[in-house]
A = this chain, B = another copy of it.
Amino acid sequence: MTAYNFETSTPNTWCPGCGNFPLLNAVKAVLQEPGEGETPTPPENLVLVAGIGCHGKIVDYLNINSFYSIHGRVLPVATGIKLANPDLEVIGFAGDGDAYGEGLEHLIYAAKRNIDITVIIHNNRVYSLTTGQFSPTSPLGFPGRSTPAGSPEPPLNPLELLLASGATFLARGFSSQPEQMKQIIREAINHRGFALVDILQVCVTFFNLHQYYAERVYTVEDHDPADYFQALNKIREWDYGASPSGTSPGGASPGKANPGGEEKERIPLGILYKKEAPTFARRLSPAGGGNREEATRESRTAAKERQALIEKILAGSK
């Protein structure tokens, strides 16, 4: 058997040095090489969903089923695909503007429902494709093109928000650490339930935080991701630059925002939270207390039976 070819011939138009490249490679590697003792998902059972932004181009570069969606709506599309066919492995790629801004409500609901999908956020903390505005995770004071005097709002901590929303898998990676990205993404895909991976993806053009991250990230150890409070503490350890007087990159005046001498804050990477819980599909099923019969679903096309049932209903409506 020849190996499946995951490449397309589409020319890649990301900027040289963009953190999306290692992210793409990590995804490709995970899909190509199953983890130890795992049987690989057949490539035709994979479906990728993307939003609109630099991140979204990833689906053009992968020879895999894909739904290149609209800005902010990766989550409902991915939810629909997964519910329609539970055999498909659905992976969403979204931007920080996309998932934490434009369509934030869907993200919270996907977590609340524990939809069995994986979402990878290309969190470059800026709107890149629209040429550099502040985003939901830009540090307070970030001087984007829509906020030349500095962004007037502190960032969201998306992991904290999603923890509060009921997400069952939360992890953080860094685009300059490919091995760890692979490991996290692999575990996220294997997780049964809603998995979100926040990748600190460096945008070299509009917000180059490579050095900043490199000096601060560390991988969590001796961490029990099943423990809510441990998870919460790890998640809150870094606030994405919410405090202007803190050590986050204030963009406008990084010197001021990160005064020399003060200790640098630390940014934990790895799987920060993980918990087992019934998925939405399971709760819909009789086993989960619902009335969604998988068997009936299979035989949905039995038009004749339907017709008979319709006639019965009509006969009863007299």
Contact = CB atoms under 8 A, between A and B. Distances in A.
Contacts of A244: 289
Query: Interface size bucket, A side?
Result: 20 to 34
A157 interface: yes
Contact of A289 (B150, B166, B283): B150
A152 interface: yes
A5 interface: no
A2 to B, nearest CB: 43
A314 B156 CA distance: 40
Interface string A127-167: 00000000010001100000001101110110011011110
Contacts of A207: none
A113 interface: yes
Contacts of A103: 105
A112 interface: yes
A152 B104 contact: no
A149 B293 CA distance: 12
A199 interface: no
Given A161-B161, A164-B160, A164-B161, A153 B108 contact: no
